[in-house]
Amino acid sequence: MDPIINLILFTCLGIAMLLLSVFAVSAKSLLRSAVYLLLVLICTAGLYLFLNYHFLAAVQLSVYAGGVLILFIFAIFLTNSKDTLMEKHRLQKYAYGALAFIGGVAVTAFALMKHKFLYATDAGVEGDTEIDMKMIGETLMGTEKYQYLLPFEVLSILLLAAIIGGILIARKR
Amino acid sequence: MFHFNVVTDWIDEFLHTYLLDGWALFIEFVLIGLILLTAYAVLALILIYVERKICAFFQCRLGPTRVGPLGLFQSVADMIKILLKELIKINKVDPLLFRLAAFLVIIASICTFGAIPFDKGLHVIDFNIGVFYLLAISSLGVVGILLAGWSSNNKYTMIGAMRSGAQLISYELSCGLSLMTIIMLSGTMQLSVIVEQQDYAWNIFRGGIPAVIAFVIYLIAGHAETNRGPFDLPEAESELTAGYHTEYSGIQFGFFYLAEYLNMFIIAAIATTLFLGGWMPLHVPGWESFNEVMNYIPPVLWFFGKTFFCVFLALWVRWTMPRLRIDQLLNLEWKILMPLSLLNIIFMALWIIYW
């Protein structure tokens, strides 16, 4: 793709993500924050699409937008009454927030400066090839070196344990 | 066989000879967007007319007859009416979420609509992960429905939204699992490749018994996904007035209405693509002259013929079955359909290995 179009798209996505993330933490009602968070996550999926990584974009949409966010919304429905608004923060908390913000920016900037980007120096390397779905599947399900069957299974057992725990806590006696 | 890629390739070349690459691409994007939106609206009009007629025949009535021959322009008149209606402002609602909800529902529906292969060359996005993309993007609609119910500030809409959320989330499971059965058979998720593979035998014939079971499960679960038919308790009129879209008026209600009809079409189109061969004509190995005759029918007609057959099945179920209760609905999914589709996946694996 044209580098200028690339830049325009990236800037739009970036600005949208920044604005929406600020809205997500500063919105007055909890449900609005959840919706802004949803939009941020959709923009992140857009970034993955931008990198030609379609699989991760679809995972982002189906896991976060289709799963986690709906859980959030259900939780808000079940616990909050309509009229509860967020309480006002005190000045001290704003100060801590600003400190955390500056720290985060410093760490990210340090990492960015320190990191050697592969494509920045060598213009010949094309990052445009898409990773085949088959390769991802075989890497997740293989037992050889650099393949991830064991972590995959361990994670699924962890999830299963969490689900059973949830049901046990929530069941009627 | 006449494929639409002749036309689309010609347009592409024509634009590229006269314009810079970037501008040609831009014009193509705009054209595709316009065509998709128009097709979306026109299909909705056709579907509304078809539904009203078929519903009337099931109930021994005539349906719309006054506007135009056979009442053909009835849904056009309805469209003009709904476009002119006032958007009523509701007191004490969150206006942002209230408006956003309708848009989320229709955006999810249009994004899914864009990925359907109508013909070779009439296919907007052909991802490597096509089927997964369809499932992922259509799950955005649930958020819209939940928000609509909550932001309307009304207990009926709230109950409707909760029911709809529970229903959509649970039926998405067996939808996905039955599609996974077919992905196992074809070995790819790219929609164009899946259609090409069904050249000589549609998946429903190639996959034998497990494919037929998956097809039936997909039709039931997909039908439940559209909030219609015996599964329409989110908007059960007798209890909840109209469920989550009670408070909407004018074109905002129209968005929910359009999305409902087009979701029915999308479910039928996905069933056609994955199980009934998409735009592939009916070919029987060995019957050369029969295959030649079938090739004369354009693939677009094959696609729409099969899709409208699936739509007819959905309408048939809708107008003959009584509505389920919420516990029956959830039992059907969690105790019957989901275990069945899990077993069906194992059955399909055995079928692929030993057949």
Q: What is the CATH number of the domain that holds A85?
A: 1.20.120.1200
Q: Judge whether A16 is closer than 8 Å to chain B, CB to CB.
A: no
Position B192 pLDDT exceeds 60: yes
Which carries the bigger pLDDT value, residue A133 or residue B101?
A: B101
Show residues of chain A in contact with B189, CB under 8 Å. 133
A68 and A58 fall within a common domain: yes
Query: How far is A26 from chain B, CA to nearest CA, in Å?
Result: 15
A48 and A80 belong to one structural domain:
yes
pLDDT at A85: 60
Q: What is the mean pLDDT of residues B241-251?
A: 80
How does the average pLDDT of chain B come out, rounded?
85
Tell me if chain B has a CB within 8 Å of the CB of A38. Answer: yes
- A126 and A151 assigned to the same domain: no
Q: Which two tokens stand for residue B221?
A: 């679960």
Does residue B184 surpass a pLDDT of 80?
Answer: yes
Looking at the fold, whether A59 and A105 belong to one and the same domain comes out as yes
| DSSP category for residue B322 | P
Instruction: Report the C-alpha gap between B33 and B111 in whole angstroms.
Output: 11
The pLDDT of residue B123: 81
Distance CA A18, CA A43 (A): 10
Same domain, A106 and A172: no
Q: Is residue B26 part of a domain?
A: no
Say yes or no: A34 and A92 in one domain: yes
Average pLDDT for residues B258-284, to the nearest whole number?
87
One domain, residues A66 and A139: no
CB-nearest partner of A35 from B127, B137, B147: B147
In a domain, B39, yes or no: no
Nearest Cα to B351, choosing from B152, B226, B159, B214?
B214
A112, A45: one domain: yes
Mean pLDDT to the nearest integer, B307-316 = 90
Give domain status of residue B131, yes or no.
yes
Chain B residues in contact with A58 by the CB 8 A cut-off are 127, 129, 132-133, 136-137
A125 and A138 share a domain? no
Q: Does A13 touch chain B (CB under 8 A)?
A: no
Per residue in B209-237, pLDDT tens? 888 999 999 999 988 888 887 888 777 66
In a domain, B38, yes or no: no
> B58 CB contacts (<8 Å, ≥6 apart)?
B316, B319, B320
Question: B150: which chain A residues are within 8 Å (Cβ-Cβ)?
Answer: 31, 73, 77
Q: What is the pLDDT of residue B290?
A: 78
Q: Please report whether residue B76 resides in a domain.
A: no
Number of folded domains in chain B? 1
The pair of structure tokens assigned to A77 is 């429905």
By the CB < 8 Å criterion, does A163 face chain B? no
Whether A153 and chain B come into contact, CB under 8 Å, resolves to no
Q: Do the beta carbons of residue B102 and residue B252 sit within 8 Å? A: yes
What is the total count of domains within chain A?
2
Q: Range of B117's domain?
A: 91-354
First to last CA, chain A: 61
Token pair recorded at residue B261: 């009809």
**Does a structural domain hold residue B253?**
yes
- Report chain A's C-alpha Rg in angstroms: 21
- A31/B147 touch (CB, cutoff 8 Å), yes or no: yes
Pick among B21, B133, B173 to test the A interface (most A CBs inside 10 A): B133
Q: Would you say how long chain B is, in residues?
A: 355
Q: How is residue B94 written in tokens?
A: 């969150």
- The pTM assigned to this predicted structure is 0.86
Residue of chain A nearest B190, judged by CA positions: A133
CA distance B166 to B234: 10
Characterize B174-184 residue by residue with b for buried, 16 or more Cβ atoms within 10 angstroms of its Cβ, and e for exposed.
bbbbbbbbbbb
Q: Is the dihedral of CA B334, B263, B3, B120 positive or negative?
A: negative
The partner residues of B119 in beta bridges, in order of sequence, read B122
Q: Find the domain containing A163 and state its range.
A: 132-173
Higher model confidence: residue B185 or residue B234? B185
Please, are residues B167 and B329 in contact by the beta-carbon 8 Å criterion?
yes
CA B190 to chain CA centroid, Å, is 18
Write down the pLDDT at residue A123: 52
Confidence (pLDDT) at A104: 93
Question: Residue B174 domain-assigned?
Answer: yes
Q: What is the mean pLDDT of residues B56-75?
A: 85
Q: Are B256 and B102 in contact, with CB atoms under 8 Å apart?
A: yes
Q: Which residue of B has its CA nearest to A70?
A: B143
Question: Are the CB atoms for B222 and B267 separated by under 8 Å?
Answer: yes
- In angstroms, rounded to a whole number, what is the distance separating the alpha carbons of residues B144 and B103? 8
Mean pLDDT within B255-272:
89
What average pLDDT does this structure show over B246-269?
Answer: 87
Q: b/e map of A81-116 (b: 16 or more CB within 10 Å)? A: eeeeeeeeeeeeeeeeeeeeeeeeeeeeeeeeeeee
pLDDT band with cut points at 50, 70 and 90 for residue B8 = confident
DSSP 8-state secondary structure symbol assigned to residue B88: P
* Of B78, B69, B74, residue with least CA distance to B50: B74
Q: Looking at residue A74, what is its pLDDT? A: 84
In chain A (173 residues long), the average pLDDT of successive 10-residue segments reads 76 91 84 88 88 84 85 82 64 86 92 75 57 79 83 92 91 74
Which parts of chain B are beta strand (E)? Answer: none
Measured N-to-C along each axis, helices B95-114 and B250-275 cross at an angle, to the nearest 10 degrees, of 30
Residue with tokens 């109209």: B242
- Are A106 and A173 contained in the same domain? no
What's residue B279's pLDDT? 82
Lowest mean per-residue pLDDT among B48-57, B232-241, B260-269, B299-308: B232-241
